[in-house]
């Protein structure tokens, strides 16, 4: 019988937030603050500062962020047209995905959240 989890490399959580606070969907500074605060909440060590950029044109324009962490990355994409946020956390170090989900929902003042967590490897 094969050992379970012997080849697990990391944990991936995706968090989709709906009906978020509109002002937060347009605020690059707040998104940077969010990335650093999320690191603290899930006990991850940031590797530098978050990279926050406004990208795209027209309907797909929005703010995105990449936060390198010592054990991988956090990425965030904001949709200011429909007030949605899409957050992906991947780490080789285990983290509490429920803590992450709760913090994300509260920070962006989301009315609805959908999330899923996978073990990768």
pLDDT in tens, 74-103: 999 999 999 999 999 999 999 999 999 999
pTM, two decimals, is: 0.92
Given this model, what pLDDT does residue 107 score?
A: 99
In SS3 terms, 41-94 reads as: HCCCCECCCCEEEEECCHHHCEEEEEEEECCEEEEEEEECCCCEEEEEEEECCC
Given this model, what pLDDT does residue 7 score?
A: 83
Residue 31 has pLDDT above 50, yes or no: yes
Residue 1 has pLDDT above 50, yes or no: no
Q: How confident is the model at residue 108 (pLDDT cuts 50, 70, 90)?
A: very high
CATH fold for domain 11-120:
3.60.90
């Amino acid at each position: 019988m094969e050992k379970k989890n012997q080849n697990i490399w990391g944990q991936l959580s995706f968090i989709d937030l709906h009906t978020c606070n509109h002002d937060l969907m347009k605020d690059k500074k707040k998104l940077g603050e969010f990335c650093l605060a999320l690191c603290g909440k899930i006990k991850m060590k940031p590797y530098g500062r978050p990279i926050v950029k406004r990208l795209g044109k027209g309907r797909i324009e929005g703010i995105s962020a990449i936060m390198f962490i010592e054990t991988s990355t956090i990425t965030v994409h904001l949709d200011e047209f429909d007030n949605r946020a899409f957050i992906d956390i991947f780490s080789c170090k285990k983290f509490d995905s429920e803590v992450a989900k709760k913090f994300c929902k509260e920070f962006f003042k989301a009315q609805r959240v959908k999330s899923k967590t996978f073990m990768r490897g």
